[in-house]
Structure 1
Amino acid sequence: MASGTMRLDEAAQPWADSSARYRVATEHEGTLLTVAVRCRIAGLPFESQALLDTGAAWSIIGGDLAELLQAQLGASGQTMILSTRLGRIRGALHDLDVVLVAERGESLAVSGSILIAPGWIGPVVLGYRGFLERLRFALDPGCGPDDAWFFFSSAG
């Protein structure tokens, strides 16, 4: 791949000007992530692997990471129950900044609505409503698992 930008019909303005490799069928904490992307959540000083899931209605963060975020966020947030493949999960919806980490171009901060649910035992999920709908993205499987690229940009 020659550059980190994606252009449509040779347009002068790039469709997406940031990119990073994504991992295909990656095991992470006992779960198989079909499409795994790197991100930083809510200003925390470490990166997380997240499942990019266009079929997930909402983004969700569970376990220890959710407990850490709850301590920062407090009890505010809209309470909701989410039905998942792992059962029903209760949590609170919060607006959080998630930084998509770029290898080429600039990393992108997206303010998303994310369910914080300590009872969720699955991976960090970046779902459609409140998150993926706020950005422009494309997946290029490349020539193999080490050549798969995630292109992204703000939607505006």
Structure 2
Amino acid sequence: MLALLVVDAAVSAVVELFFLPLRFDGALLPDLGGVPFPATAVLAAVGTPLLVRTAARLAPRLPVAGAPLAAWLATVLVFGFFGPGGDAVLVGDWRALLLLAGGALPAAVVLGGEMGRAQQAAAQRAADHDAARRPGVGTRTGA
């Protein structure tokens, strides 16, 4: 399942990169004078955190939960700067920053939250285990 999530992150990164230069120019979208339409940044902001959350639910360890984010980021950087045929696919304007911020920042926040919840749950389990091992701790004896 983790391999599928990593592959999904890489494929979505490639698709987001290739459709990042999309514009309202009448070819695929209505003609609005060539206004940029970076919808793939929104897809990255929604999809990448979902992949991270799903990976964290598989195993709440940083290498597992962070694997989709690492794959997405590596794919964006490799294909963005060294694309097919040596072409730079990543556009050199605000849309590139929007894609990177939209994909990486929400996913990093979700990763931190999931790791914090996992650490808190482990601490709670350890406290419960310690309390169960010590008889009489936390219980009142009749007065």
TM-score, L = length of structure 2: 0.22
Larger radius of gyration: 2
Greater share of helix residues, 1 or 2?
2
Which structure has greater strand proportion?
1
The structure, 1 or 2, with the larger RCO (C-alpha pairs under 8 Å, 6+ apart) is 1
